Amino acid sequence: MIIYNKTWLYNLETRNKAKNWKFNGLISENDQTRISDSKPVGFYMPGFWMALGLFFFTTILLCASGGFLSLVVLATDINEEFAFQIVNFIYSIACFHFAEKYKKDKHYFNAGTDNALVWAGTGSLIGNVFWILFEAGIHDQTVWIAGLFLASFACFIVTLRYADVFVALSYFISGLLALLFLCGNMGIWGKAIIPFAGFVYSAGTYIILKYRVSAENKFFYHDCIAIAEAAALISAYISVNYFVVRELSIVMLDLYLNEGQDIPYGNIFLLLTIAIPPAYIYLGLKDKNRIMLRIGMLLVGASLFTIRYYHSILPPEVAMIIGGALLIGISYFLLKFLKTPQYGFSIKEENESAGYKIAESLIVAETFSQQPSAESGNRFGGGSFGGAGANENY
């Protein structure tokens, strides 16, 4: 099913491993050359910026060709929507045809052009499905349920064929949305189970991807599975997040909560909101799963905001100072502690760090820099404190 040459994919992985071994001083330059020579990879794989450039210009080209086709249809005076739908369909077919050609014959592998073609093909196909459904005179939410299920299905097939990360993510999200729309249309009980449906869908996806995918497929679709897993972890959390559930219940179930009142099963949601991020961090550290660990760290922040929103104990600035001091303290302690590796953890800089350093410098410049004002007159107004990027209005 997958379009790429499987031997090359294996060889590519071997080469990447060799690069890592070389970086860690496990093999010599000679070894690495020997590995590269014996493991040919015939893909056209330009670097990141090159691929970005190819993607950018291919996207413009595809938009212009779409516009050109529409102009042709307009010029023929057949002003039926039907004609546009046919042309749209031909356009999707053409995109997939070129994607096949580039990936199969020219061996493009995430080179920008092929990604743009796959996305344009999938996008125009899905757009067309919605158009036809709306055209068919169905104007209630059934359109969304049917359309999203079809979209999810289409994305799944496309992912199987091209192993495209973005399409894999779209598959997960459109499936989730379809399910939520379905529940939302099943009356009061349907609406009430939305959080659980979202949670079960996400957790189910995660477990299936983790335990029910063969080792071979896990290898071929590695990146797609990784992104779907990440999305599943996040959406499982969002589905049962206290803030999300509470505010959505108020809107969707027309609840009127008085002071001190809570949503049904509010405590369960609060408990899950508090428990999930530490659980992710724990599991991430235990299984050395970096994605899970990072998402857990991110969600701790989300949970803190959620709780603060309803139960504010400290004024924000005090909380900021205490939190900041805690963060610095914890990381200082760990940086000292892990200087010599402990329990399989270290603080060794990895292969990727040069690009990160530059990104970090830009982020620092973005958040902490002084902004000029038009006349410099009020440059040292209230906003100059601490260069606290987000807090200039205090």
Partner 1 sequence: MQNTAKSLFEEGILDEGTYNKISGSESNPLFSLFWELRTLLYLGVLLITSGFGIVVYQNIDTIGHQAILALIAVLCGCCFFYCFKQGEPYKNGKVKNASTFFDYILLTGCLLFLTFEGYIQFQYQVFGLRYGLAAIIPTVVFFFVSYRFDNISILSMAITGLAAWAGITITPLHLIESNDFTGHSVIYTAEVLGIALSTAGWVLMQKGIKSHFFYTYVNFATHLLFVSTLAGLFLSEGGEKFLWFAWILALAAACVVFAKQEKSFYFLLIALIYTYTGLTHVFMTSIDWDNEAVVWLGMWYFMASCAGIIYFLVNHKKIVSKLFNPGSGPDTSNDHL
346 Cβ contact list (under 8 Å, min separation 6): 338
CB of 315 to partner 1, least distance (A): 9
3 sits in which H/E element: none
Measured from the CB atom, the residue of 34 and 97 that comes closer to partner 1 is: 34
Please state, as a whole number, how many other Cβ atoms lie within 10 Å of the Cβ of residue 43.
17
Residue 208 found at the interface with partner 1 (CB under 8 A): no
Instruction: For residue 88, give the amino acid letter.
Output: N
Closest CA to 43 of 98, 102, 1: 102
Q: By rule CB under 8 A, what string of x and - marks binding of each residue 21-60 to partner 1?
A: x--x-xxx--x--xx--x-----x-xx-xx-xxx-xxx-x
CB of 230 to partner 1, least distance (A): 15
Measured from the CB atom, the residue of 34 and 104 that comes closer to partner 1 is: 34
Using the rule CB under 8 A, give the single segment among 123-131, 271-279, 289-297, 303-311 that binds partner 1: 289-297
In the list 2, 3, 61, 203, the residue contacting partner 1 (rule: CB under 8 A) is 61
Under DSSP, is residue 227 helix (H, G, I), strand (E, B) or coil? helix
In the list 13, 133, 192, 234, the residue contacting partner 1 (rule: CB under 8 A) is 13
User: Residue 257 region, left (φ>0) first, then alpha (ψ -120 to 50), else beta?
Assistant: beta
Residue 79 found at the interface with partner 1 (CB under 8 A): no
Q: For residue 342, what are the β-bridge partners?
A: 345
Residue 90 found at the interface with partner 1 (CB under 8 A): no
In the list 42, 67, 204, 278, the residue contacting partner 1 (rule: CB under 8 A) is 67
Burial code (b: 16+ CB inside 10 Å, e: under 16) for 318-347 equals eeeeeeeeeeeeeeeeeeeeeeeeeeeeee
CB of 34 to partner 1, least distance (A): 5
Q: Which residue has the tokens 């499982």?
A: 236
Measured from the CB atom, the residue of 141 and 331 that comes closer to partner 1 is: 331
Closest CA to 122 of 171, 84, 177: 171
Residue 81 found at the interface with partner 1 (CB under 8 A): no
Restricted to residues 292-331, the positions that interact with partner 1 (CB under 8 A) are 293-294, 297, 316-321, 323-331
The one-character DSSP state at 363 is H
Q: Give the count of residues interacting with partner 1 (CB under 8 A).
A: 100
Q: For residue 44, what are the β-bridge partners?
A: 108
Residue 65 found at the interface with partner 1 (CB under 8 A): yes
Distance CA 208, CA 220 (A): 16
Please state, as a whole number, how many other Cβ atoms lie within 10 Å of the Cβ of residue 192.
17
Measured from the CB atom, the residue of 41 and 240 that comes closer to partner 1 is: 41
Please state, as a whole number, how many other Cβ atoms lie within 10 Å of the Cβ of residue 212.
8
Measured from the CB atom, the residue of 87 and 186 that comes closer to partner 1 is: 87
Residue 368 found at the interface with partner 1 (CB under 8 A): yes
Measured from the CB atom, the residue of 185 and 289 that comes closer to partner 1 is: 289
Distance CA 3, CA 97 (A): 13
CB of 231 to partner 1, least distance (A): 20
Restricted to residues 110-169, the positions that interact with partner 1 (CB under 8 A) are 113
Measured from the CB atom, the residue of 53 and 123 that comes closer to partner 1 is: 53
Measured from the CB atom, the residue of 49 and 256 that comes closer to partner 1 is: 49
Start-to-end CA distance of the chain, whole Å, equals 57
Measured from the CB atom, the residue of 202 and 303 that comes closer to partner 1 is: 303
Burial code (b: 16+ CB inside 10 Å, e: under 16) for 75-112 equals eeeeeeeeebeebbeebbebbbebbbebbeeebbbbbb
CB of 170 to partner 1, least distance (A): 25
In the list 156, 219, 266, 291, the residue contacting partner 1 (rule: CB under 8 A) is 219
Residue 88 found at the interface with partner 1 (CB under 8 A): no
CB of 10 to partner 1, least distance (A): 8
Burial code (b: 16+ CB inside 10 Å, e: under 16) for 176-187 equals bbbbbbbbbeee
316 Cβ contact list (under 8 Å, min separation 6): none
In the list 40, 42, 278, 389, the residue contacting partner 1 (rule: CB under 8 A) is 389
Measured from the CB atom, the residue of 132 and 298 that comes closer to partner 1 is: 298
CB of 316 to partner 1, least distance (A): 7
